[in-house]
């Protein structure tokens, strides 16, 4: 299950971005495309073993650009052909990504 190692890498990056002395993580938001090679369900199940922070998952749309007519289309992993003209010569614009989108931090206590 490589999703556990993906969780570790995401958590490591989120903690690095928050800073060693920063407030604890409250949430981590990731964007996962259908061609990323990461199973969002398995990632969500593996996450609680590493962190108490909430894991929020956004689905990235699978989009292509047609080399024949120039149209950008939303497609499915099973059919990457252009939705406008049906040509098979398309270029992937998105849908293969795994991105750390944002981190949420616990609010620091304002009492002085």
Q: How many independent structural domains does the chain possess? A: 1
30 inside domain: yes
Would you state the structure tokens that stand for residue 31, as one six-digit string? Answer: 């964007």
Question: CATH code at 96?
Answer: 3.30.2320.50
48 inside domain: yes
112 inside domain: no
Give me the pLDDT at residue 9, please: 94
Counting as low any pLDDT under 50, the low residues of the chain are: 112
Give me the pLDDT at residue 94, please: 97
Quote the CA–CA distance of 10 and 12 in Å, as a whole number.
5
Give me the pLDDT at residue 44, please: 96
Which H/E stretch holds residue 60?
none
**Edge-to-edge strands, sheet with 98-105:** 54-59, 25-32, 98-105
Residue 14, domain extent: 3-105
Which H/E stretch holds residue 53?
none
110 inside domain: no
28 inside domain: yes
> Which three-class secondary structure state does DSSP give residue 93?
strand
Give me the pLDDT at residue 31, please: 98
93 inside domain: yes
Quote the CA–CA distance of 49 and 70 in Å, as a whole number.
45
């Amino acid at each position: 299950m490589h999703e556990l190692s993906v969780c570790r890498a995401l958590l490591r990056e989120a903690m690095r971005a928050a800073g060693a002395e920063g407030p604890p993580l409250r949430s981590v938001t990731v964007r996962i495309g259908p061609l990323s090679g990461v199973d969002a369900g398995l990632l969500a199940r593996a996450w609680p073993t590493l962190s108490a922070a909430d894991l929020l998952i956004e689905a990235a749309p699978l989009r292509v650009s047609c080399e024949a007519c120039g149209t950008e289309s939303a497609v499915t992993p099973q059919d990457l052909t252009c939705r406008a003209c049906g040509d098979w010569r398309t270029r992937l614009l998105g849908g293969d990504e795994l991105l750390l989108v944002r981190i949420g931090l616990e609010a620091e206590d304002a009492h002085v």
